[in-house]
Amino acid sequence: MNVLLIGPPGSGKGTQGERLARRLGLEHIAAGDLLRAEVAAGTPLGRQVSQIMRSGELVPDVVIIALVMPKVLAAADAHGYLLDGFPRTVAQAQEARALAERVGASPDAVFYLDVPREELMRRILARAAVEGRADDNAQTVATRLAVFEEATRPLVDYYRSRGLLHVVDANRDEDTVTAALIDVLDRV
């Protein structure tokens, strides 16, 4: 099984991704974690994307696709994947679909984690206090949410038109959200 989690920053993609992947025996691939690992390692790619991430803007398509898709294709070939934080644009989704279809690695389900903006802000700023992520400050959060609305929200219609989208109310406790996701997957 191959699953995508999309949603705004702070919607719980990472948390639910870890929980679902563990429960379903899937490889959890978190695009943001891959990028942060590159930055932490000081790689040429990490240096290239560090400033972009701090500003809250999207990493260029060619960069994120080159980083994420090899892991997706390998996981799909092995035992399936749960991918969170990618794609972030319709163009990325189209490119990823073309690559995935060639090897039978297309997603079986796409979940949109729906959370009100005020709750997203609260969650992200609370996370900043705990995790100290450079991209979790008030100014960057506002930029990230605006970028999400402009660049990523169109993915909802893109995946809905393909019959893959499932909208889940993620403004609930973690266990309830996980149960809702599992309930949908049991019917896919």
pLDDT of residue 4: 96
Residue 183 lies in a domain: no
Provide the mean pLDDT of the chain: 90
- Please confirm, yes or no, whether 144 is among the known catalytic residues: yes
**Which residue has 């934080």 as its token pair?**
85
The domain in which residue 6 lies consists of: 2-178
pLDDT of residue 135: 59
Q: What CATH number does the domain containing 85 carry?
A: 3.40.50.300
Provide the pLDDT confidence category of residue 126 given band limits of 50, 70 and 90. Answer: confident
Catalytic residue (one of 19, 36, 123, 144):
144
Q: Give how many domains the chain has, as a whole number.
A: 1
Summarize pLDDT for 129-151 with one digit per residue, the tens: 777 666 566 788 888 899 899 99
CB-count exposure of residue 17 (10 Å: 0-12, 13-18, 19+): buried
Catalytic residue (one of 127, 153, 160, 172):
127
- Please confirm, yes or no, whether 162 is among the known catalytic residues: no
pLDDT of residue 77: 79
**Statement: residue 24 has pLDDT above 90:** yes
Which sign, positive or negative, has the C-alpha torsion 77, 78, 80, 82?
negative
Catalytic residue (one of 97, 133, 153, 160):
133
Of the candidates 112, 116, 83, the one whose C-alpha atom is nearest the C-alpha of residue 14 is 83
- Please confirm, yes or no, whether 127 is among the known catalytic residues: yes
